[in-house]
Structure 1
């Protein structure tokens, strides 16, 4: 395991250089992701031009289904960072693609999440892939 730490440090340094515009090639891709958006569920939905269909509206969690030209996705906002992380950790057990910002998450197909990232910013996280666990008779 000790051999991987220096490699991680080099990869991290390369990432910082690319984000700072000192790298070549990848700096254009990094520049296209804006700073993560903040705000209410309604303001985030407005940024991506969707009318949210509310599913859950509580003090801790607000969840809506949205549809844009990119596709259909779920938009969730949270009252606390801890609540958000717990929700993501549980949800990722079911697979899927997640775009994560400060106190909000979108869930949808990979192409939809990547499309939303150009407007909302945030970091993509990927849920557990259970396809390797399926049994095949043969």
Structure 2
């Protein structure tokens, strides 16, 4: 009859698996909550202290000074729709909102520089966009101001290249 294997005793190094330590610590819920609270506390200060000269084609955020976080579903919920995700990539996520007032596209980015690169590329085509920290909403200009009420952000008008409308 087979006997069950004896369990290794604490301190018995001959039968223990080697302990692998990582220099990277996994954040706990408490750490994530503290980081989120800290980011939300600093966000109004960041949105109120923009550097550089303001362009006449950019309008300021709502009086509350709060801008929605960069998540398609959160921004969509704040604007009153449920977004259908159409692009899931490392550099961006896009969701489409279809409403009776009009359709719009919500694009979020993992880094602010990726958002700015995208807007620089779009400048060739022109257009008006609602822009927040790591997110952009593309819609007809008359739809952007009502959308801006809840998520915040600024309305940015980009100049196109070539002849304008006559």
Computed over aligned residues only, the root mean square deviation of the Cα atoms, in angstroms, reads: 2.8
**Where do 5+ consecutive residues of structure 2 fail to align?**
1-52, 55-59
1:50: Cα distance to partner? 1.1
Residue 124 of structure 2 corresponds to 93
Post-superposition CA distance 1:29-82 (Å, at most 9, x none): 963x65211141111111112121222111220011112344211100000010
Q: Does residue 93 of structure 2 align to residue 62 of structure 1?
A: yes
Q: Matches of 1:45 and 1:134 in 2, distance apart?
A: 32
Larger radius of gyration: 2
The reply on whether 1:45 has 2:37 as its aligned counterpart is no
TM (norm. structure 1) is: 0.67
Q: Which has the higher helix share?
A: 1
1:34/1:118 contact within 8 Å kept: no
Which of 113, 117, 125 matches 2:144? 113
**Aligned pair count?**
109
Q: Distance in 2 between matches of 1:135 and 1:113?
A: 21
Residue ranges of structure 1 left out of the alignment (5+ in a row): 1-10, 13-18, 20-28
Change (3 A) 1:37 1:135: closer
Name the SS for the 2:146 alignment partner. helix
Task: Give 1:116 deviation, angstroms.
Answer: 0.9
